[in-house]
Amino acid sequence: MEADPNPILEDVRAFLSACPDSYDFPIGGELSIPSAFEQKFLTLLSGDVTNQLLESVRQNISRNDAYSLVIFAVRMAVHAARTKDTAPIEKSLWILSVDDNDVDWRDTLIALSIVEDCSARSGFNFTNRIAELAQLAPSRRRKTIEDGYLSRTPEMRDVETLGYKPINPDSNELYYVRDY
Amino acid sequence: MVIASKIKSSLYAWLCVMVVVLGLAENRAWGFFAPPEPAPGQIEAVSPEAVGENYEASAYDASGYAVAPIRGAGGAGRQFASNFDDFLVGRTFKSPAEARKAFDVYQQAAKADKGILIGHGDDAIGQAFDGWQAFRIMERQWTPRINMSWIDGAVDAGKPVRLITPFENVRRGSVTWDEIQRVISRGGELISP
């Protein structure tokens, strides 16, 4: 059997197989943040993102998998905001530029707004980094990030405008609930 | 594949749970499913119990897929809000512009000849013909409240809502999932593929 040219794929597969059925959009339902399988996956990620990495993951995931990865990225942002440690966002943000249209663009907008809200709470420079990652994203996702999200006014990017309300802000029990 | 299979096999159970939860959704802690709270006298609320009583379980085949229209509260639903002030009752928007846009799309949906289409991303747009209308909006203008106002416009006008995306491909908690919840909780007619 040939060695996997991109070992991260094995880690992605292991992560996806560990995701429970209750891993609901956008923040995994009632599951505690972070769960053990997420912590394990996070330790395997680095902030280094290449086209090869994105392409190999992109070609090996289903729509459902793409949702699970985006949910993971959102949850890691919440984890970062709770702990005031930017590393979980730095290591997982690239996931938002993986798939083209597997995750509904409307759900992508919601995910981006929660991640941005968490970034502000943890001190992470979200706008610069997501703009860089948009350059690596496939065309449909790039359009959503740049035209659909970054071109909005701050008010239109606000997490509450995009339908989610932070609960217990500024605490290590930060959470978001649907509010529309 | 395994996850999709699990979702498929548990679909019927989830729909049943969904209807039960709608009955419990008075508490905003269940906000995921909670319908908006209408002010007295302006918009006639559909009781969650009514959704449960009128739920047509027989509309599902053995695998849990809907094979006939599902009607929540049997069309006993809310009155169509013909003016902006009535429309605003029981709704919260983040800006006047959002409220105005929401009312525009509410009215648009009500004018669909046959009904409206919902589904993942742009799926519905490709099938918006022969009197069926899909929601079109610039991504930078989209908000969930505008989106749901569009659903409400069709439901309040008594128009059916057709789901384009196979239910097994709808992620729980996604906007499409919320659209489905909205139609059912508001007493609308949902036609599933």
Span B54-65, pLDDT tens digits? 333 323 333 333
Distances (CA, A) of A126 to A20, A122, A131, B65: 28, 10, 8, 41
**A63-83 vs A8-18: helix crossing angle, rounded to 10:** 90
Of B4, B120, B140, Cβ closest to residue A148: B140
| Number of domains chain A is built from | 1
Q: How confident is the model at residue B50 (pLDDT cuts 50, 70, 90)?
A: very low
Q: Write out chain A residues lying below 8 Å of B174, CB-based.
A: 25, 67, 104, 107
pLDDT on residue A14 = 96
Contacts for A5 with CB less than 8 Å, ≥ 6 apart: A56
Could you give the ipTM of this predicted complex? 0.95
Assess if residue A152 is contained within a domain.
yes
| Residue A148 falls inside a structural domain | yes
A145 touches chain B (CB under 8 A): no
* Residue B10's pLDDT band (cuts 50, 70, 90): low
CB B112 within 8 A of CB B159: yes
Q: Is B144 on the interface with A (CB under 8 A)?
A: yes
Chain A CA closest to residue B91 = A180
A104, A110, A177 ranked by CB distance to B176: nearest = A104
Element (H, E) at B189: strand B189-191
Residue B39 has pLDDT above 90, yes or no: no
- pTM (two decimals): 0.81
| Between B37 and B17, the higher pLDDT residue | B17
Distance CA A25, CA B173 (A): 5
Is A46 a domain residue?
yes
Residue A147 lies in a domain: yes
Packing angle of the helix pair A105-122, A63-83 (nearest 10 deg): 20
Q: Which residues of A touch B143 (CB under 8 A)?
A: 156, 161-163, 180
Displacement of CA A21 from its chain's centroid (Å): 18
The CB density around residue B56, as the number of other CB atoms within 10 Å, is 13
What is the per-residue pLDDT for A4?
Answer: 57
| C-beta separation of B125 from B101 below 8 A | no
**Token pair for A79:** 């984890």
Note down the domain range covering A111.
8-178
A84 at interface of B, judged by CB pairs closer than 8 A: no
Give the residue from A88, A87, A46, A94 showing the smallest Cα distance to A69: A94
**Residue A3 covered by a domain:** no
Residue A134 lies in a domain: yes
CB contact under 8 A, A149 and B139: yes
Which of A107, A144, A147 comes nearest B174 by C-beta? Answer: A107
Q: What is the model's pLDDT at position B193?
A: 86
Q: Considering the domain boundaries, does residue A23 fall inside one?
A: yes
Order of strands across the sheet with B115-118? B70-71, B189-191, B161-163, B115-118, B132-134
What residues have CB less than 8 Å from A166, skipping those under 6 apart? A117, A159, A174, A175, A176
Comparing alpha-carbon positions, the chain A residue that sits nearest to B168 is A64
B5 versus A33: the higher-pLDDT residue is: A33
Q: Is B90 within 8 Å of B133 (Cβ atoms)?
A: no
**Residue B21 pLDDT:** 44
Kind of pairing between the strands at B161-163 and B189-191 = parallel
The residue whose two tokens read 């509450």 is: A160
Residues of chain A neighbouring B122 (CB-CB closer than 8 A):
101, 105
Is there a contact between B1 and A26 if contact means CB atoms under 8 Å apart? Answer: no
Q: Is B4 on the interface with A (CB under 8 A)?
A: yes
Q: What pLDDT was estimated at residue A3?
A: 55
Burial (CB count within 10 angstroms: exposed 0-12, middle 13-18, buried 19+), residue A17: exposed
CA distance A97 to A142: 8
Instruction: Using pLDDT thresholds of 50, 70 and 90, give the confidence band for residue B14.
Output: low
Question: pLDDT in tens for each of the 180 residues of chain A?
Answer: 555 567 789 999 999 999 999 999 999 999 999 999 999 999 999 878 899 889 999 999 999 999 999 999 999 999 999 999 999 999 999 999 999 999 999 999 999 999 999 999 999 999 999 999 999 999 999 999 999 999 999 999 999 999 999 999 989 999 999 999
CB pairs under 8 A between A and B: 91
Q: Identity (one letter) of the amino acid at A10?
A: E
Confidence of residue B69 (pLDDT cuts 50, 70, 90): very low
Q: Which residues of A touch B180 (CB under 8 A)?
A: none
